[in-house]
């Protein structure tokens, strides 16, 4: 792929706040046009990663390339192609929606006021209402309308649905997907709500303990993993694979494996794994801080 076929590339990216590494050794690529979910527990480094991507933070190590350009040399032209919705979608609470739109237009060359107004009219959000008088879901929708009106090539959203109820979350995701279908932009958003991601995302990054533990196309990742259940054992498996997670009951052993790991021994059964189980298994893995990925081979 050429540089512009990737909306985002990072190489050895790291950020340290005093003695705390919020993100380390992050090297990944996100192809253009994908909707990517960034998943991780509290404190995993998601916000730090997203703020590095949009240029609000400078890396301690490594580099970020966004829309084919290094973020170290971000020009106003590149920045105008990036939309960013910060966590809790902050809006000036004393501004009316119309005033927020005016502010957006004055700050962004490509601002599409008509697009924002149509979206807000569909949602029946009055333009003369102050942001502080809107519900959390309405504020999220206004923030999304402002971000979309920039007509960004890359839209970055930091936990955009965190404060929304299930209905508002669904409406938000539908609005986002509608905009993606219309504009064909690349979207990167962080979330804790794994079950909802499968419907809208085609790419996944799992971040845990400040490190990327899984990245790739969701269908491919799900296809590469499987669940093996067999008689309780820790040693007598004779086909190699990478054990992501092992659990044992009194009589059975359950393994989540990657790359092979076909149940070879009699009594073992393999089954596909769902996205949620897959993500949870990676999130449960202990921290590692070495250079090499922690891959445990199934004993031969
Ligand atoms: N400005 C800062 N100064 C010092 N430490 C920070 C700062 N910002 C973040 N951290 C630390 O960096 C780590 C990663 O924080 P970050 O906010 O990126 O995580 P997160 O995955 O977005 O968490 P959450 O899901 O709770 O929002 C945490 O240990 C956090 O305490």
Could you write out the DSSP letters of every residue in 43-105? TSSHHHHHHHHTTSS--SEEEEEETTEEGGG--HHHHTTEEEE-TT----TTSBHHHHHHHHH
Mean pLDDT for 155-168 is: 84
Rounded Cα–Cα distance for residues 151 and 147 (Å): 8
The pLDDT tens digits for 266-296 are 778 889 999 999 999 999 887 765 433 333 3
For tokens 């189980």, what's the residue? 277
Bridge-based pairing of strands 6-17 and 20-31 is antiparallel
For tokens 């879901």, what's the residue? 137
**For ligand 1, atom 3, which residue shows the shortest CA distance?**
17
- Decide which of 230 and 57 is more confident: 57
Please indicate whether residue 45, judged by its CB atom, sits closer than 6 Å to ligand 1: yes
Rounded Cα–Cα distance for residues 264 and 91 (Å): 57
pTM for the predicted model, two decimal places: 0.87
Please indicate whether residue 46, judged by its CB atom, sits closer than 6 Å to ligand 1: yes
Cα-to-centroid distance, 100 and ligand 1 (Å)? 28
Residue 198 pLDDT > 50: yes
- Kindly tell me the burial class for residue 28, based on how many C-beta atoms sit within 10 Å of its own C-beta (0-12, 13-18, 19 or more): middle
What are residue 151's DSSP bridge partners? none
Could you tell me what percent of the chain has a pLDDT over 90? 46
pLDDT band at 173 (very low <50, low <70, confident <90, very high): confident
Mean pLDDT for 9-30 is: 94
Rounded Cα–Cα distance for residues 265 and 23 (Å): 41
Residue 121 pLDDT > 70: yes
Cα-to-centroid distance, 58 and ligand 1 (Å)? 15
Mean pLDDT for 43-63 is: 94
**Structure token digits, residue 106:** 């004055």
Residue 246 pLDDT > 50: yes
For tokens 């032209």, what's the residue? 77
Rounded Cα–Cα distance for residues 76 and 81 (Å): 9
Mean pLDDT for 117-137 is: 91
pLDDT reported for residue 160? 83
Mean pLDDT for 251-271 is: 77
Find the range with the poorest average confidence among 10-24, 58-72, 205-219: 58-72
Find the range with the poorest average confidence among 49-58, 109-118, 153-162, 172-181: 172-181
What is the separation of C-alpha 210 from the centre of its chain, rounded to a whole number of angstroms? Answer: 14
The pLDDT tens digits for 141-158 are 899 899 989 999 999 999
Q: What's the whole-number average pLDDT of the chain?
A: 85
The number of C-alpha atoms within 13 Å of 84 and in the hemisphere containing its C-beta is: 15
Residue 139 pLDDT > 80: yes
**For ligand 1, atom 25, which residue shows the shortest CA distance?**
42
Interface predicted TM-score (ipTM) = 0.96
Mean pLDDT for 49-56 is: 93
pLDDT reported for residue 196? 77
pLDDT reported for residue 294? 35
Cα-to-centroid distance, 39 and ligand 1 (Å)? 14
């Amino acid at each position: 792929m050429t540089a512009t076929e990737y909306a985002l590339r990072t190489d050895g990216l790291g950020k340290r706040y005093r003695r705390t590494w919020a993100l380390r050794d992050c090297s990944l690529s996100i192809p253009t046009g994908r909707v990517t979910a960034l998943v991780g527990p509290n404190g995993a480094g998601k916000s730090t990663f997203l703020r590095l991507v949009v240029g609000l933070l400078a890396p301690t190590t490594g580099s970020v390339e966004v829309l084919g350009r290094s973020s170290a040399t971000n020009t106003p032209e590149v920045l105008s192609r990036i939309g960013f919705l910060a966590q809790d979608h902050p809006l000036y609470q004393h501004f009316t929606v119309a005033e927020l739109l005016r502010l957006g237009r004055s700050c962004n060359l490509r601002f599409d006021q008509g697009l924002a107004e149509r979206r807000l009219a569909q949602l029946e959000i009055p333009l003369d209402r102050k942001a502080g008088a809107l519900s959390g879901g309405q504020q999220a929708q206004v923030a999304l309308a402002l971000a979309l009106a920039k007509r960004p090539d890359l839209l970055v959203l930091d936990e955009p649905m965190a404060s929304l109820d299930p209905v508002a979350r669904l409406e938000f995701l539908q609005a986002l997907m509608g905009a993606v279908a219309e504009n064909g932009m690349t979207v990167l958003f962080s979330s804790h709500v794994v079950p909802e991601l499968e419907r809208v995302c085609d790419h996944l990054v799992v971040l845990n303990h400040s490190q990327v533990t899984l990245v790739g196309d969701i269908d491919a990742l799900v296809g590469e993993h499987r669940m093996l259940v067999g008689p309780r054992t820790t040693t007598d498996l004779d086909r190699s694979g990478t054990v992501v997670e092992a659990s044992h009951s009194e009589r059975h052993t359950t393994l989540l494996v990657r790359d092979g790991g076909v149940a070879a021994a009699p009594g073992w059964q393999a089954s596909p794994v769902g996205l949620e189980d897959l993500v949870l298994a990676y999130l449960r893995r202990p921290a590692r801080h070495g250079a090499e990925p922690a891959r445990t081979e199934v004993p031969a």
